[in-house]
Amino acid sequence: MLAACGSGSEGSDGNRQDDAGPPQSGGSATIVQTSEPRRLDPALMSNDLGTNALVGNSLYGQLLRMDAKGKVQYGLAKSLTTSDGGTTWKLKLRDGLKFSDGTPLDAAAVKFNWARLADPKVGSQSAPYAGLVTDMTPSGQDLDFKLSLPVNHFEAAIAQSLNWIASPRALRGSAQSFDAEPVGAGPFVLGSWTRSGPMVLKRNPAYYDSSRPYLDELVLTANSDSVQRAATVKSGGADAGFVNQHTQAEKEGMNVASPKLGGGLFMAFNARTAPFDDVRARQAVAQAVDREAVLRTLTPGGAAEAPATLYADGSPYNGDNTLPEYDKAAAQKLFDELAAEGEPVRFTITSYPTTEGKRTVEAIQSQLNQYENVQVEVEVLDFSAAVGKTVQKTFQLITSGLYPGVQPGLALYLGLHSKSPGNLSGVEDRALDAALLKGLAATGEAEQTEAFQEVGRLFGELTPGMIYTRYELGLGWKDQLHGVELYGNAGIRTDTLWVSK
């Protein structure tokens, strides 16, 4: 998938048990996140640390989760099974579930939410996942559904993008009324929210697990500057915050956990239009950029090792395949070859307005403009405009993300298959399509490994984009906070958090 997917953690283990003893109930914790949501509608949020994972998991909880090894853990749901290898499924919910407004959380509510996610008028980033679901039949707490193609590990899709279920009655009301009083079945309910200020979440007494959440209150603030977020935690202004420079945060006495997703931040080439409709232009740029030099501009004095593989380090899915390496001579040869044919490489890089994003594209521009027969411009757009270019596929080179995760089949299919609406680059290749479908439906580990290794080989050959760094955002927390647990595709539980008294 482009822009967000995976499991596990780097740095400290996000699921680790410390020596603080059994969880203590009560108290309040403050976490500083990167930004606040524009809306509290679960269809308009994403389950990612960098965006809305804290808010969504607090208000809506999880149907299910995936641990670092890909094993399913159940929350509001109690089972998910397939009868035919990935096309026909049954989701069973726990009995007696209630939304915070007292209405039942049943299979009909799940159907309503999933159908809404797939509706183009809603504009959800989860639409590619929800669009695979067909023929939903609810009966009490059981939802029978089919997929438009076999997906052997559909639990990964649910954990990532179909996990948050809100009250249908509340969603049928106005957007303003829902934002004022969002209705879910998560561990917390909204106490108060001052736009551009703190969001105060209060313990939900009707949560399905009566022993949790442990906290009485969770306060969320926002700061887009990673250095300031870390400084806030260090100074005691927050119990935890999202950090980019893990090594520095650990030196300053924080515990750090971050997802181990493979892939990473991704400069996506638009192969639908010049100059990147020619694979040689894509290969030239990928070889021309010293990715480690780019990283050094982002984290002076920090680690600067660019990813060498599509999948997470050590994954058997990598095989002998590697990403294109920095090679100035090879890049210049390709630039010259294209110019000799009358097609010099000229393009614009589009960036989101974050400090790190601007510095990244400017560093890439500076390197590329040192070559002959290539000319690069940069445009920095606000979030809505950048998202618009992404959705409309009107960019030439844009910042995004590709995260295979622990069960990479669906993420890779949605991000790379020629018929997928989530295929940001627009690369079309029959061999790649075949390998993606094989990996999606594979039931045995050997078959999966063979398919995903072939995807990795073709990714390097076709160069739909340039992965320049792994997912770097993590949660840094001080010793008084406990119960940090990441799950799935950069999601985070909040019902397990507690503070020492």
**Residue 170 belongs to domain with CATH number:** 3.40.190.10
The answer to whether residue 50 is domain-embedded is: yes
Same domain, 386 and 252: no
- Is residue 410 within 8 A of residue 151, CB to CB? The reply is yes
Residues 241, 299 within the same domain: no
pLDDT of residue 70: 82
Mean pLDDT score, 273-298: 95
| Beta carbons within 10 angstroms of residue 71's beta carbon | 11
Q: Is the pLDDT of residue 419 over 70?
A: yes
Please say if the pLDDT value at position 9 is more than 60: no
Same domain membership, residue 185 and residue 166: yes
Residues 242 and 273 in one domain: no
Res 451 pLDDT > 80: yes
229 in a structural domain? yes
Decide if 2 is inside a domain.
no
Is pLDDT of 14 > 70?
no
Share of the chain above pLDDT 70, in %: 95
pLDDT of residue 489: 75
pLDDT per residue as tens digits for the range 77-103: 999 999 998 999 999 999 999 999 999
* Best CA proximity match to 373, nearest among 462, 277, 285: 285
- SS3 percent helix, strand, coil of the chain, rounded to 5, is 30, 20, 45
Residues 6+ apart with CB under 8 A from 215: 26, 27, 28, 29, 203, 494, 497, 498, 499
Question: What does pLDDT average to over the chain?
Answer: 91
The H-assigned helical ranges of 321-429 are: 328-340, 355-368, 383-392, 409-416
Confidence grade of residue 117 (pLDDT, cut at 50, 70, 90):
very high
Considering the domain architecture, whether residues 383 and 477 belong to the same structural domain is answered as: no
What pLDDT, in 10s, does the model give residues 356-379? 889 999 999 999 999 999 999 999
Residue 382 and residue 269 share a domain: yes
Mean pLDDT of 150-155: 92
Q: Are residues 57 and 181 in the same domain?
A: yes
How far apart are the C-alpha atoms of 485 and 13, rounded to whole Å? Answer: 8
For 65-76, what is each residue's pLDDT tens digit? 998 778 899 999
- Residue 340 region by backbone torsions, left for phi larger than 0, else alpha for psi between -120 and 50, else beta: alpha
Is the pLDDT score of 197 beyond 80?
yes
Claim to verify: residue 362 and residue 420 sit in the same structural domain? yes
pLDDT at 18: 59
What average pLDDT does this structure show over 282-311?
Answer: 87
Is 439 part of any domain? yes
pLDDT at 470: 86
Q: Under DSSP, is residue 224 helix (H, G, I), strand (E, B) or coil?
A: coil
Q: What is the pLDDT of residue 15?
A: 46
Q: Mean per-residue pLDDT for 110-130?
A: 94
CATH of the domain at 424: 3.10.105.10
Give 167-183 pLDDT, tens digit per residue. Answer: 999 999 999 999 999 99
Cα gap 414→402, rounded to integer Å? 10
Lowest mean pLDDT among 112-126, 198-212, 239-253, 284-298: 239-253
Residue 4, domain member (yes or no): no
Q: How many CA atoms lie within 13 A of 123 on its CB side?
A: 8
Domain carrying residue 446: 264-469
- In this structure, are residues 64 and 58 in contact, taking their beta carbons and an 8 Å threshold? no
In a domain, 282, yes or no: yes
Instruction: Give me the pLDDT at residue 13, please.
Output: 40
Q: Which of 188, 154, 163 is nearest to 42 (CA)?
A: 163
Asked if residue 1 belongs to a domain, the reply is no
Integer Cα distance of 334 and 341 in angstroms: 11
Q: Which residue has the higher pLDDT, 247 or 414?
A: 414
Q: How far apart are CA 164 and CA 40, in angstroms?
A: 11
Average pLDDT over residues 264-280: 96
Q: How many domains does the chain have?
A: 2
Tally of CB atoms within 10 A around 104? 16
Whether residues 234 and 205 fall in one domain: yes
By mean pLDDT, which of 114-123, 351-360, 451-460 is the weakest?
Answer: 351-360
Query: pLDDT category, 6, cuts 50, 70, 90?
Result: very low
Query: What's the pLDDT score for residue 16?
Result: 47
Same domain, 190 and 331: no
Q: Region 375-403: what's the mean pLDDT?
A: 90
Same domain for 29 and 91, yes or no, is yes
Q: Are residues 251 and 366 in the same domain?
A: no
Residues 117-134: what's their mean pLDDT?
93
Q: Does position 5 have pLDDT exceeding 60, yes or no?
A: no
Q: Which of 192-196, 280-284, 404-408 is modeled with the greatest confidence?
A: 280-284
Is 3 within the bounds of a domain? no
Which range scores top for mean pLDDT: 150-154, 319-323, 352-356? 319-323
